[in-house]
Amino acid sequence: MKTKQLAFLVLAIAGFLTGCKDTFIEKRTYTANVPEYMSYDEMRQPVKSSAATEVEVQGKIYIKDNYLYVNEKYKGIHVFDNSDPANPLNVTTIWIPGNVDLAIIGNYLYADSYVDLVVIDISDMESPREVARIKDIFPYTIPELNSENSSYPIASIDQSKGVITGWKVQSITEEIEDYSHPVYFYDFALNSFAKTETNAISGGGGGSFTSTQTIGVGGSLARFIINNGQFYGLNQTDMQVIDIASPENPVVGKKIALQRVAETVFIEGIYLFIGTQTGMLVYDISVPSNPTYVSEYNHFQSCDPVVVQDGYAYVTERAGNRCGNWQNLMEVIDIHVITSPQLVKSYAMTEPWGLGIDNNKLFICDGSAGLKIYDATDRLRIDEHLLKTFTDVTAHDVIPMGNVLILLAADGIYQYDYSNLNNITLISKIPIGG
């Protein structure tokens, strides 16, 4: 009898404690960045195009054959006929929700659309057509906040509602059970918050560059690249390999954990070079579907585009931003012994972004300090051989293409003729944002 009474007492106490839990629920009101959603069904409507529109927001640049592709961040891609770089013609706009990066081989364009990868047939440039889509291949990522709103926390996120297209600052009230309820702030280290060829080379290198190249070329800030029937895409701290031998039937391949925040990708020969916030990683892609780690070169945390030519890697490291760091540098790294990259020399910069190289002509986008062009023949004295500086631009990325340099700047896309190094001249400008 006593045993039954004790059991009843234990159950009663347990029930009392469980029942009392609700008394600790608290309502909390605060100002936050509240997500605005686009449903998955709307996001996954077939890609559409329209007559040419002006570029309003800066994104990334890409060149393929006689066409210049200009990404407008999160909106889509503007296509220009660049047969005459002195007179680029705006042809069409391909609207791709959530688009940031692209890569092209043959008549197929590969682009991200938030969490998906879409494949677009561009054989008819005025009527591009979506032919394949891989769903949920990229991580669910929270877009960056406006700088004036970054001090407010991020409200609760419901991924089932769709992808996040933006933010609305407003007062919200939430019911919480205790004081351990997480309040998320914007992560400047990622600039987002994810659920917890002539010899002219830029960041999208990968094959010779002629007027009819099979694979296009992106700037040094490229996150996607194509080589030998494989697509390589960086996903924050991972690299995703996709077999695109059959463009309309892409097959998801290996996913490689990089253990770092990866930002840019470049190919030279059988090696793939990944720029991360803490260094350069080298992978062997002699078996294209199975990249294997070779070596690394480490540096302080910073934004880190990389380009390679003739056994040397050129890396910029930018400070005072979401990537951290306290120095602004351009470093030259000897990779003749690919298993042991060695620093040759570091050069002080002002605000270095992207870069490109063409037969020892080194183009560095030094942000607010402009575009700087060097003779890099003597890698120990590059700073003594400055050929030209354009200080009237805030330079972000470049593609050197046969004697024409395509520059992505804050206010537009500039094209320069550098066939005569003693007289490098501006030949055209596509404005951004009016």
271-283 in b/e form (b: 16+ CB < 10 A) is bbbbbbbbbbbbb
The predicted pLDDT at position 249 comes to 97
The predicted pLDDT at position 144 comes to 84
The predicted pLDDT at position 418 comes to 96
Residue closest to 265 by CA, chosen among 219, 223, 228: 223
The predicted pLDDT at position 150 comes to 78
| Degrees to nearest 5, angle at CA 118 with 116 and 124 | 165
Q: Report the DSSP beta bridge partners of residue 32.
A: 170
The predicted pLDDT at position 26 comes to 67
- Residue type at 124 in one-letter notation: D
Q: Which residues of the chain have pLDDT under 70?
A: 1-26, 176-213, 302-303, 320-325, 434
pLDDT tens digits for range 409-433? 999 999 999 999 989 999 999 999 8
d(CA 42, CA 37): 10
HEC-encoded secondary structure of the chain: CHHHHHHHHHHHHHHHHHHHHHHHCEEEEEEEEEEEEECHHHHCCCCEEEECCCECCCCCEEEECCEEEEEECCCEEEEEECCCCCCCEEEEEEECCCCCCEEEECCEEEEEECCEEEEEECCCCCCCEEEEEECCCCCCEECCCCHHHCCCCECCCCHHHCEEEEEEEEEEEEEECCCCCCCECCCCCCCCEECCCCCCECCCCCCCCCCCCCECEECCCCCEEEECCEEEEEECCEEEEEECCCCCCCEEEEEEECCCCEEEEEEECCEEEEEECCEEEEEECCCCCCCEEEEEEECCCCECCEEEECCEEEEEEECCECCECCCCEEEEEECCCCCCCEEEEEEECCCCCCEEEECCEEEEECECCCEEEEECCCCCCHHHCEEEEECCCCEEEEEEECCEEEEEECCEEEEEECCCCCCCEEEEEEEECC
d(CA 10, CA 190): 50
What tokens appear for 57 in the block?
């927001």
The predicted pLDDT at position 141 comes to 83
The predicted pLDDT at position 194 comes to 38
| Degrees to nearest 5, angle at CA 203 with 261 and 108 | 100
The predicted pLDDT at position 210 comes to 31
What tokens appear for 213 in the block?
């190249």
The count of other CB atoms within 10 Å of the CB of residue 15 is 10
pTM here?
0.85
* Highest CATH level, class, for 42-139+195-431: mainly beta
d(CA 393, CA 407): 9
What tokens appear for 18 in the block?
């469980």
φ and ψ of 321, to 5 deg: -150, -165
| Degrees to nearest 5, angle at CA 98 with 280 and 107 | 80
What tokens appear for 51 in the block?
């007559």
Strand order in the sheet with 271-276: 262-268, 271-276, 279-284, 292-298
What tokens appear for 42 in the block?
């709307």
The predicted pLDDT at position 151 comes to 84
d(CA 228, CA 237): 23
Domain chopping of the chain, boundaries: 2-38+145-185, 42-139+195-431
